[in-house]
Structure 1
Amino acid sequence: MLVVAVLFLFALAVFAIAFYLRFLDSFKAFETNGIKGPKPSFPFGNFKKTLTGKCNFVDELSEIYEEFKGTERFVRVFMTRKPQLFILDSKLSKEILVENFKHFSNNVSSKWSTAKDDVLRKCSPFVCTGNDWKSRRTEIVPVLSSTRMKGFHPKTKRICQKLCNFIDSKLRGEESVDVKALAYNFTAEFVSDFIWGIDARAFTKSAPCELIQMKDAMIQQAFKCVKAYFLSDLLPFFGNRRFFSKLSDKFFVGLLKKLLAEDSNCGRSDFLNHLEKLKVAKELSESELTGHTTTVVIDGIETAGALIAHCLLLLARNENSQEKLRQEINDTLDGEDFPTFDRLNELTYLEQCLYGLCSLLYTFVETICFQKL
């Protein structure tokens, strides 16, 4: 038994040394072509704090950006042992994301889950690649046009009035207002009406908003999936995980199925009508149609909600900017209670406030060239 134990420990040691040396060998990528970057560490690469839960991924990217901005157009980084390029220069980002996008359309996030496990997510143009990406993008773009959004503007006004009434009720009761929750309530109401033509009841106190609960379930599962993907290259048994939860998948498929089965003359939303036409014209499955709705849910509720919440936070910290924006809105309203769709486009400073936050997100996240080299 002693001999067997010794042999086992020896084999384990040899395996560990071989694994370590192979891991370090992967860090030699880019050395021959002179691409600079922060020094990686075993076994986390350049994102130790992210993978150990000490900070957000964007925070660690920000540190790398601050270290190399102004001196390098791009740097190399490692996610565990996977070499990546982190694009720092805005002009180069535009070349990659716009002018030469055809060479960079296959993104690494498409590998975070499988079509078998994540049917809805794999139907989204955000993670599709090649011809699938072109097809899915073509299907959803027409219903998100400026003309369609202008037609939805009267409903937007009604949703904004709900928001105002909710805030008034809080203030009358001398209650504090959770601005982050308020932003998500607003985007949930908007998305619910825009996609399905139904009330999300996000401003109702009697019960929690089911749509927000499903969105939260999707986001929580997504974080687990991304972390598992990073670790899978280090420890392959982590494998692929679902990006969206089974609970949210079942909810959104059931909701769409129910609404499509109803009479189309009952005030169906433009988005739902568009999906109905796609189902007939392209013979799409319910999962493929639902994939388009969850695409808008994530981008419309989570992304837009986070953007609004952070914008309000920064405005609260900068009273001069807050007053400047308030003055612009009052001047644009010119005595009216709500701006027309065309007048919204005249709110230049509001656009700058929102775009400023968007540019930060794009700088630190979207400008990463997610291409495995």
Structure 2
Amino acid sequence: MVSDPELIRDMNIKDFHVFVNRHGYSFNDPLNDRSLTNLMGDEWKTMRSIISPTFSSGKMRSMHPIIIDCVHRLDNYLETKAMAGGDVEMKKTMGSLTMDVIASCAFGTKIDTYNDHKTSEFIVNAKQVFCGGVWRLWVFMALVKISPKLFEWTGFQIIDPSVQKFFNTAITSIVSRRKSEKVRQRDYLQLMIDAQNRKNKDTDDQDVDDLDENIYGKWQNYGKIETTETSDINNSNKSESTGMSDADIIANSFLFLMAAYETSGALLSFLFYNLALNEKCQQKLYEEVNGLDGMYDYESVSKMPYLEACIAETLRLQPPLPATHRHASQEYTLDCNWLTIPKGMMVIFDIYALHHNPEYYPNPEVWDPERFMPENRDQLTPYTYMPFGTGPRNCVGMRKAIGS
């Protein structure tokens, strides 16, 4: 377990070629095995180069109207609740918003997440992934702990086969319809279809400066880092072959659901909770939002320093994941020379400990957005803030998570 910033930098960037993979086993089902997070070696490198451009600011700008529609549905729901004088359970409500955004942006599907949560097949199956499969997660962890080979030998699947079948059928149907009818929509699924057809160089894809690298790191330049294996990891414009199959599209559309639903819903819930406890911060954010005069376009929203600071501080205090891990592909001796990591060992980077270390964040248990305001960002210690991981294998959907 590692929580030293210099070691985190070395293992995730300088010597990334040793720690490319997250694990060394198969999940026994294509929805997991073909997703970007679980691919290994050159397969991961190729897929990352294909998927990365689908999360550029230009692509996110094109999906922004879809997200605005989802927010309008949330507005209507909250207005109805307010008129009736009823309570609002924020965790459930933010989960409904997140599900609406995922269904619209990833699957091109409109669902009434606020009223049809018990009858919609999409919602029922999506929630089954998180709520109905807890025992599967425990069995998976036990089997992998005993032996990854035992896990593969049993053929045990972490996702319920009926859920897999539903999403396989649903996504396959949508992809087939779009290909046959030449239907084009501005959503993530369409972007992957375009990537498969090498239509990734849209003229409206110029990036805007929507993520401050003083907070999130120089993630846009990882493709230029001079490491042994990764000099062209994200250099997708030079890729001559996509190598993306329909199975890859299905797996990575499903990954969008897996990675975004619980994490984004939790972030929004904690954000509102922290704002509720800090009325001065709430007022300051209200004034910043009010200053837009209703102009909630992508560029305007991405240039709201106090909103960004509030989100960043929430991700620090309540990170979506407490840790991330990497698999050593070869024996690795630390620069201090007193410790050698053997080939095959799992290395865990302790995100929670970093974010709550008073050496890097004074009064770490206090929610204080000022830490991440532009005038204070030079006080941040590099590689001590990593809610999305760090290095070439950081979260590919980071811009989507923040920009939404």
TM-score scaled to structure 1, two decimals? 0.67
* 1:186-223 deviations in Å (ceiling 9; x for gaps): 11111211123220221335854433322222224664
CA distance in 1, matches of 2:141, 2:63: 41
- In proportion to residue count, which structure has more helix? 1
SS in 2 for 1:152: helix
Distance 1:155 1:232, change over 3 A: closer
Query: Offset at 1:98?
Result: 3.4
Q: CA RMSD in A?
A: 2.8
Distance 1:278 1:249, change over 3 A: farther
1:239 correspondence with 2:113: no
Task: For 1:242-281, list aligned pairs within 5 A.
Answer: 242-263=157-178, 264-279=181-196
1:88 correspondence with 2:48: no
CA distance in 2, matches of 1:97, 1:357: 24
CA distance in 1, matches of 2:252, 2:320: 26
Q: Which residue of 2 aligns with 1:141?
A: 52
Asked if the contact 1:228–1:238 (Cα under 8 Å) also holds between the matched residues in 2, the reply is no
Greater shift in the superposed pair: 128-137 or 97-106? 97-106
CA distance in 2, matches of 1:136, 1:234: 28
Could you tell me which runs of 5 or more consecutive residues in structure 1 were left unpaired when the two chains were aligned: 1-85
Greater shift in the superposed pair: 214-223 or 169-178? 214-223
CA distance in 2, matches of 1:271, 1:138: 15
What code does the residue aligned with 2:272 have?
Answer: L
CA distance in 2, matches of 1:120, 1:344: 34
Asked if the contact 1:193–1:269 (Cα under 8 Å) also holds between the matched residues in 2, the reply is no
Query: Offset at 1:322?
Result: 1.9
| Aligned residue among 332, 340, 362 for 2:297 | 340
Query: Offset at 1:235?
Result: 5.3
Equivalent pairs, count = 281
Aligned structure 1 segments of 4 or more residues deviating by more than 6 angstroms: none
Distance 1:183 1:234, change over 3 A: closer
Could you tell me which runs of 5 or more consecutive residues in structure 2 were left unpaired when the two chains were aligned: 199-241, 329-343, 346-404
* 1:214-250 deviations in Å (ceiling 9; x for gaps): 2222224664444334423665697353122212211
Task: For 1:295-314, list aligned pairs within 5 A.
Answer: 295-314=255-274
Q: Which residue of 2 aligns with 1:18?
A: none
* 1:110-145 deviations in Å (ceiling 9; x for gaps): 53x53xx32111111111110111122122212121
Q: Which residue of 1 aligns with 2:78?
A: 167
Query: Offset at 1:262?
Result: 2.0
Q: Which residue of 1 aligns with 2:316?
A: 359
CA distance in 2, matches of 1:191, 1:300: 8
Query: Offset at 1:269?
Result: 3.6
Q: Which residue of 1 aligns with 2:127?
A: 216
Percent of residue pairs bearing the same amino acid type: 20
What code does the residue aligned with 1:262 have?
Answer: R
Query: Offset at 1:183?
Result: 0.9
What code does the residue aligned with 2:2 have?
Answer: I
Distance 1:235 1:298, change over 3 A: closer
SS in 1 for 2:37: coil
Distance 1:325 1:262, change over 3 A: same
Asked if the contact 1:107–1:370 (Cα under 8 Å) also holds between the matched residues in 2, the reply is yes
Query: Offset at 1:160?
Result: 1.1
SS in 1 for 2:322: helix
Greater CA radius of gyration, 1 or 2? Answer: 1
Asked if the contact 1:124–1:292 (Cα under 8 Å) also holds between the matched residues in 2, the reply is yes
Task: Flag the structure with more relative contact order, 1 or 2, with Cα contacts below 8 A and sequence separation at least 6.
Answer: 2
Query: Offset at 1:268?
Result: 3.0
Distance 1:209 1:354, change over 3 A: farther
CA distance in 2, matches of 1:230, 1:256: 28
Distance 1:238 1:250, change over 3 A: same
TM-score scaled to structure 2, two decimals? 0.62
Query: Offset at 1:321?
Result: 2.2
Asked if the contact 2:167–2:254 (Cα under 8 Å) also holds between the matched residues in 1, the reply is yes
Distance 1:267 1:358, change over 3 A: same
